[in-house]
């Protein structure tokens, strides 16, 4: 579970991170990452459209992405704002496939 302090819930902040952040494409999603002020907790937001699937599939994808973001907080607890936009392929992907794509995307953030 991703604690509330680490969630982006404002539509304006989601758009801001998507516009200004560095975009990293993966097979299942597009991740936009922007720097936050030092000492500010890292935050994550998720965009999962109806193109991904029905409500059950969309909620499953969101849960999986939130779990991956929660794991990332151990490496980057402060200073990062990220928005993940799920692509239609994420609906058919397993958790392992999402986790592999997530790890590759996070590795690119560090470079």
* Residue pLDDT, tens place only, 20-59: 999 999 999 999 999 988 888 999 999 999 999 999 999 9
Residue 67 has pLDDT above 80, yes or no: yes
Assigned CATH for 4-110: 3.30.230.10
Q: Is 13 exposed, middle or buried (0-12, 13-18, 19+ CB in 10 A)?
A: middle
Distance separating alpha carbons of residues 55 and 12, to the nearest angstrom: 24
Distance separating alpha carbons of residues 36 and 109, to the nearest angstrom: 14
Residue 1 has pLDDT above 80, yes or no: no
Q: pLDDT tier at 111 (50, 70, 90 boundaries)? A: low
Angle at 14 between CA 62 and CA 90, to 5 degrees: 30
Closest CA to 95 of 55, 65, 74, 70: 65
Residue 10 DSSP class: -
Task: Give the pair of three-digit tokens for residue 26.
Answer: 């993966």
Q: pLDDT tier at 102 (50, 70, 90 boundaries)? A: very high
Mean pLDDT of the chain: 92
């Amino acid at each position: 579970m991703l604690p509330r302090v680490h969630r982006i819930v404002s539509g304006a902040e989601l758009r801001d991170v998507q516009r200004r952040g560095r975009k990293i494409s993966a097979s299942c999603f597009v991740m936009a990452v922007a720097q936050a002020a030092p000492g500010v907790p890292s935050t994550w937001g998720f965009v999962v459209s109806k193109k991904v699937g029905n409500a059950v599939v969309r909620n499953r994808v969101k849960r999986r992405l939130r779990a991956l973001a929660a794991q990332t907080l151990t490496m980057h607890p402060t200073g990062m704002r990220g928005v993940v936009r799920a692509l239609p392929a994420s609906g058919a992907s397993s958790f392992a496939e999402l986790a592999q794509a997530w790890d590759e995307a996070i590795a690119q953030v560090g470079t």
